[in-house]
Structure 1
Amino acid sequence: MEFQQEIRGFLMSRRARITPEQAGLPYVGGDRRVKGLRREEVAMLAGLSVEYYTRMERGQLGGASESVLDAIARALQLDDDERAHLYDLARNVAPGSRRKRPQRTSPITASVQQVLDSMSVPAVVQNGRLDLLAANDLGRALYADLFAMAQQPPNYARYVFLDPRAKDFHADIDEAKNQLVAILRATTGRDPLDQQVTALIGELSTRSTDFSTLWANHNVRRHARGRKVVHHPAVGRMDLAYDDFALPGDPHVSITTYTADPGTPSADGLALLATWADTRKQPQTSSDEARRTRPRTP
């Protein structure tokens, strides 16, 4: 029933944002009691009966064919991420789909860490829950606040919504919040049996009014590539491009890299970040060396 409510909320929210004019429907005078399109208008645009579309909007997506889902996606003007989410929702209510979620082994192998360490740019490994599972030295330096959090592995959504330092770190904290909620929404559609995701959403909904408000919008986004402007406490403002590279064997765990355009102040900032990362390691290195060279007492 809860997952059917997820389907209902998503389809209704997409329907509410489209006006008849945007859908290419003729203008009809008089007051409209609904925001956006009516169910019968979506059904007409998709070539479906009103009864069939109404059942689907009530959560009965199981068994819908690819052509029907495509027709609904076109009628609701879904983008690529929203279309993929619709397919995820339909797949997870199909007969026999709600089987027990298999246990997953850690994707962070020694070879994955070697790949991270070989990179000359900040890099982190994150999952769909937005946990930062691993990083190279530059990645840890970029997200120093997160990796210093008491609860490990650090969770990016928990940091942005619950840690006051996040507002200073992000040039546009509202955009960051919108994006993270949309990513978590996509994750729940893809893997509704992930109890850790469910627990995280429950925690954030309880502790953050901003999160619960944004969660009700049912916006969806896949984390793939984009730009992020941050104010790092040690090196200042950086405008960074990020790219995701899925790990083999688990497409929902990815390496995210951060780069800056050559010759820009942001590129200088990354160079300064590397220097700062080295200085953070030196005290520990010096301490280790001192322990190795300290004379042993008889």
Structure 2
Amino acid sequence: MPAGPRRRVPGLRRSEVAALADVSPEYYARLEREHLGGASAAVLEAVARALRLDDAERSHLFHLARAADGSDLLTRAFHPDWDLHADITVAILRTEAGRNPHDRHLHDLVGELSTRSDEFRTRWGVHDVRHHGTGTKHFTHPAVGDLTLTYEGLRLTADPDLVLTVYTAEPGSPSEERLRLFVSWGATREAVGEGARN
């Protein structure tokens, strides 16, 4: 930031944080007042960079934004097959934990989930393992409705530890039309958010 008059307190002014994050001062003021719901990941990342947040602080910011957006509450509604999804996700996590038993971050994650969720702890105790290969998943999105998508996990040749999961809708199906609507809805929402920030 350009040099200015002597400050009475250390740190950045609100307008300076907004400038560094490339958002309007009014938009940043709304974020500061805990109106984080709807803030895009790009905006949150820009704010985290502007404030020089460390990993824990950045993670906390994203948790606050998800809570403000109601994402935690919408998760079960988004997955009509919640129990099946949860079983599979925990089994995949256990597979990964077995493959990397000395991964401190993964160990910490499992510990945190075990202390915060009885459901996770019960599922973890079953010791199921699974690879995320191919299959079909059902979703219910609040803006576009029900989606049935097939998925396939593709292990990357350059880094076999990474798996890219590709979701597709059956051509000509209602899900394909709803997926196109979802892409259009997302682009419109991003454009509206960009306009609010300028």
Same fold (TM over 0.5): yes
Q: Does 1:273 align with 2:182?
A: yes
Q: CA deviation at 1:164?
A: 2.8
Name the residue aligned to 1:236. Answer: 145
Q: CA deviation at 1:226?
A: 1.3
Which stretches of structure 1, 4 residues or longer, exceed 6 Å deviation after superposition? none
Alignment counterpart, residue 215 of structure 1, candidates 107, 119, 124: 124
Indicate the SS of the match to 2:172: coil
Name the residue aligned to 1:122. Answer: none
Instruction: Give the aligned residue type for 2:188.
Output: T
Q: Could you state the TM-score of these two structures normalised by the residue count of structure 2?
A: 0.61
Name the residue aligned to 1:175. Answer: 84
Indicate the SS of the match to 1:255: strand
CA distance in 2, matches of 1:260, 1:181: 25
CA distance in 1, matches of 2:76, 2:181: 22
Instruction: Give the aligned residue type for 2:112.
Output: E
Indicate the SS of the match to 1:163: helix
CA distance in 2, matches of 1:204, 1:284: 33
Indicate the SS of the match to 1:251: coil
Indicate the SS of the match to 2:153: strand
CA distance in 1, matches of 2:192, 2:131: 39
**What are the ranges of 5 or more consecutive residues in structure 2 without an aligned counterpart?**
1-40, 42-60
Name the residue aligned to 1:224. Answer: 133
Q: CA deviation at 1:284?
A: 4.4
Name the residue aligned to 2:62. Answer: 150
CA distance in 2, matches of 1:173, 1:287: 35
Distance 1:268 1:199, change over 3 A: same
Distance 1:217 1:255, change over 3 A: same
Name the residue aligned to 1:33. Answer: none
CA distance in 1, matches of 2:135, 2:98: 22
Q: Could you state the TM-score of these two structures normalised by the residue count of structure 1?
A: 0.42
- Work out the percentage of aligned pairs sharing the same amino acid: 41
Indicate the SS of the match to 2:165: strand
CA distance in 2, matches of 1:193, 1:259: 35
CA distance in 1, matches of 2:104, 2:72: 23
Q: CA deviation at 1:285?
A: 4.7
Tell me which structure has the larger Cα radius of gyration: 1
Q: Cα deviations across residues 193-222 of structure 1 (Å, max 9, x unaligned)?
A: 111111111111111111111111110101
CA distance in 2, matches of 1:223, 1:163: 23
Distance 1:279 1:189, change over 3 A: same
Name the residue aligned to 1:63. Answer: none
How many equivalent pairs are there?
Answer: 134
Name the residue aligned to 2:169. Answer: 260
Instruction: Give the aligned residue type for 2:137.
Output: K
Q: CA deviation at 1:183?
A: 0.3
Name the residue aligned to 2:30. Answer: none
Which protein is richer in helix relative to its size? 2
Name the residue aligned to 1:138. Answer: none
CA distance in 2, matches of 1:234, 1:242: 21
Q: Cα deviations across residues 235-254 of structure 1 (Å, max 9, x unaligned)?
A: 11100111122233322222
